[in-house]
Structure 1
Amino acid sequence: MVRKGDAKLIRELNRSIILDIIRKQGPISRAEISKVVQISPTTVASCINALMEDSLVMESGTGVSSGGRKPILVQLNPNDRFLIGVAVNASKITIAAFNLYATVQKKISHSLRNETYSDVCDFLITRLKDFLAGFEQKDNCLGISITFQGIVDANKGVVVYNPKLNMSNVSLKDKIEAALHIPTYIDNDTNGSLLAEKGYGHYQQAKNLIYVTIGDGVGASILVNDAIYRGYLGGAGEFGHTTINFNGPVCECGNIGCLENYVSWQATQSRIEEELSQGKQSILSDVLKKKGQLTIETFHQAVLQQDPLALSIMDNIAFYLGVGLVNIINLFNPEKIIVGGELANNNPYFIQKLNEFVLKHSLETHTENFEILPSSFGDDSEVIGAASVLLHDLFHSTIR
């Protein structure tokens, strides 16, 4: 028996499949699309007409004839429509406009260390209104896609738990849509980064991937047989809150000895300051005296300059994160692990140390052809990840 709504679902799936083929293989003829996706020419033609009406696809010349008239080719129309990607972490909000190839067209960041506002939602809505004011054709916006650290119910658009921003069960999707009247998507930040890798990165062919992010916090996203594993209540991937030391410090989540307390930027910054206060020699000492605070960028520069203290602390981070990664490798047996986030981006020394550790300590059967690799997008990985939540609904509904 065909359920009510099945025909509409099939049309939507066909549309996503055809649009993705056009994105990847265009310019391409309607007949070739029909062969590739094994959908009838009539259905393909109908879907393409609808996509052209929505300005998502356009005709682009003719192809080579195999006898008879030359076929008319179609391709993605990437710049007629746009979307907004928003990456929110504990220290800043980054807002960017993207075309349909996930290319950044405009980007701006706002610090979250400024305490002139009391509610992250109100602050975010104000910043989005300011950002959208720069676009003449707001109706061409396909949607707003926002990623947060912590536990997110992507289906309901609710930030379930984010201790760093003191958010609990916040219906952010409803709030944004009520204020801006634009379709809004919400997801966990690391899930977004994994979707970006699958859609646009260097690792699109892998079906069993794990993406780990390390910066303000530590999280993981798990791709199993080409589908994101979200867990029973959407809370899978809280890698930073796995316990590695029951005699360790109390974490903000209430547990003791969480991994995040040993490898996050906050933990790293505290350790650097403690070492310097004990008289350790480092170029970071001068930075702290001049600027009053350390940044991830200055820490990276010290690592690149092979500062002994910076290298020692980087080795320590690689050790603790490596312990966690060994457990992930032995548990999930992924093809690859991608490590992104502000502490890992543009840091080949760190990636090398992680590879050395996990190859030494993981099961041999699990590390054949295995490698830990950096993010495809570097410093833009978070905001491209945010945009990818919406883009994957558009192109890849099957892996959501």
Structure 2
Amino acid sequence: MMKYILGVDLGGTNVKIGISDYSFKLYKFFTVSVQEFATPCKGIFYIQKLLQELGRYKFSVLGFGFPGLVNYKKGFINYLVNIKGWEDVAWAKQLKRKLRMPVFLDNDVNVAALAEYYLGRGKGSKNMLMITLGTGVGGGLILNGKIYRGSSFSAGEIGHFPLGLTGPKCNCGGIACLESYIGNKKLISQINSPSFYSRSKLLTEIHKKKGKLSLEDITLAGRKADSVAVQFWEEVAFKLGQIIVGVINLLDLDRVIIGGGIGKSGKLLLQPLRKFVKNRAMKIQAENVKIFNAGLGNKAGVQGASILAYFGLKNKQI
């Protein structure tokens, strides 16, 4: 009898859910509102209901990716970013008691990194950094083939590397964090300032027509060789590149994967980023590392959660 894994990727606005087999082939993928997980109790109720609805699949294990600080070993959620009411939750213990099924969880970027490492652009890598660029800037590290979680299970917070001694205050309480420069909120505000878009005839026309510019608009303009749009992505690459160079020099990575919404800018971000890293990282490290856009899209989270659950079921540390 074929056994299945339920993978769940909790996001700020929706929850992605996937059904995989033990070879990580994805049989079903769908999204639901994050309101189904507005509280831990609601989340447990939804999972119970979902498993009943999916009764024809014989699930053996559940895997979750959560956007926040997670204790992987204890299956414990310390807190979630942008989702209130999820502080100090013994999620694995509570769900296992209700379902009588093994449950594994980790940070959402860690599980996305797992998916890219085993199934995507990270295949063949040994030491890899996964970066997600969106509302926040997240990082997941795989060193010597295993997720590096750190002493308090909070490693990978690349979005909170400072870019200087002074600068904007970040949501984390820090100053001049990378996220406060290239997080979605900051970039959307920047591109909708008249001082930005008025320098481009194309962007001015788009803004007049739509009332508000999106990052997709900047990408499309860049692909039409609009100089203001091209320069915008170069500046994002410069800021991101400074942090990546430091991590590469420190850890001697062989792969960096760029995912998330901003990563959809493609070569407009990737080409100047590669150039910056090549010119600024130490020679041997620069020659060894490869930088790619993520390959699995919005399914990476559920696929990574399934991989996490599978290896957890087999008692294999990853």
The two structures have a TM-score, normalised by structure 2, of: 0.86
- The aligned counterpart of 1:384 is 303
CA contact (8 A) 2:216 2:265 kept: no
CA deviation vs aligned residue, 1:214-246 (integer Å, no higher than 9, x gap) = 222212222222222211111111111111133
- Quote how far apart the aligned CAs of 1:275 are: 4.3
- 1:152 lines up with 2:70 in the alignment: yes
- 1:339 lines up with 2:252 in the alignment: no
- The aligned counterpart of 1:192 is 111
Which letter does structure 1 place at the counterpart of 2:134?
Answer: G
- The aligned counterpart of 1:313 is 232
- Quote how far apart the aligned CAs of 1:126 are: 4.8
1:278-317 to 2 correspondences below 5 Å: 279-281=198-200, 297-317=216-236
Q: 2:55 aligns with which of 136, 153, 156?
A: 136
Measured in 2, the distance between the counterparts of 1:299 and 1:101 equals 39
Measured in 2, the distance between the counterparts of 1:357 and 1:348 equals 13
Q: 2:4 aligns with which of 74, 79, 82?
A: 82
Higher relative contact order (CA 8 A, sep 6+): 2
- The aligned counterpart of 1:206 is 125
- Quote how far apart the aligned CAs of 1:340 are: 1.8
- The aligned counterpart of 1:64 is none
107 and 210 in structure 1: CA distance in 2 versus 1, 3 angstrom threshold? same
- The secondary structure found in structure 2 opposite 1:147 is strand
CA deviation vs aligned residue, 1:158-181 (integer Å, no higher than 9, x gap) = 222333224432222234334444
- 1:271 lines up with 2:190 in the alignment: yes
- The secondary structure found in structure 1 opposite 2:292 is strand
- Equivalent residues, number: 317
310 and 136 in structure 1: CA distance in 2 versus 1, 3 angstrom threshold? same
Which letter does structure 1 place at the counterpart of 2:73?
Answer: N
- The aligned counterpart of 1:247 is 166
Measured in 1, the distance between the counterparts of 2:51 and 2:129 equals 34
Which letter does structure 2 place at the counterpart of 1:82?
Answer: Y
180 and 357 in structure 1: CA distance in 2 versus 1, 3 angstrom threshold? same
- The aligned counterpart of 1:324 is 243
Q: 1:100 aligns with which of 7, 19, 22?
A: 22
- The aligned counterpart of 1:165 is 83
Measured in 1, the distance between the counterparts of 2:119 and 2:313 equals 14
The two structures have a TM-score, normalised by structure 1, of: 0.70
- The secondary structure found in structure 2 opposite 1:320 is helix
Which letter does structure 2 place at the counterpart of 1:321?
Answer: L
- Quote how far apart the aligned CAs of 1:127 are: 4.3
- Higher-Rg structure is 1
Measured in 2, the distance between the counterparts of 1:276 and 1:94 equals 38
298 and 92 in structure 1: CA distance in 2 versus 1, 3 angstrom threshold? farther
- The secondary structure found in structure 2 opposite 1:367 is helix
- Quote how far apart the aligned CAs of 1:333 are: 0.9
CA deviation vs aligned residue, 1:176-234 (integer Å, no higher than 9, x gap) = 33444432211012211222233223433322222222222212222222222211111
Measured in 2, the distance between the counterparts of 1:276 and 1:174 equals 53
CA deviation vs aligned residue, 1:269-316 (integer Å, no higher than 9, x gap) = 121222478745465666666766665555544444444443332222
- The aligned counterpart of 1:216 is 135
Measured in 1, the distance between the counterparts of 2:315 and 2:61 equals 16
Runs of 5+ consecutive residues of structure 2 not aligned to the other structure:
none
Measured in 1, the distance between the counterparts of 2:28 and 2:212 equals 29
Measured in 2, the distance between the counterparts of 1:223 and 1:368 equals 19
CA contact (8 A) 1:282 1:308 kept: no
- 1:370 lines up with 2:284 in the alignment: no
Measured in 1, the distance between the counterparts of 2:37 and 2:289 equals 46
- The secondary structure found in structure 2 opposite 1:95 is strand
Q: What is the RMSD computed on CA atoms of the aligned residues?
A: 2.9
292 and 190 in structure 1: CA distance in 2 versus 1, 3 angstrom threshold? same
Which letter does structure 2 place at the counterpart of 1:92?
Answer: N
Measured in 1, the distance between the counterparts of 2:33 and 2:293 equals 26
- The aligned counterpart of 2:177 is 258
CA contact (8 A) 2:278 2:287 kept: no
- Quote how far apart the aligned CAs of 1:120 are: 4.0
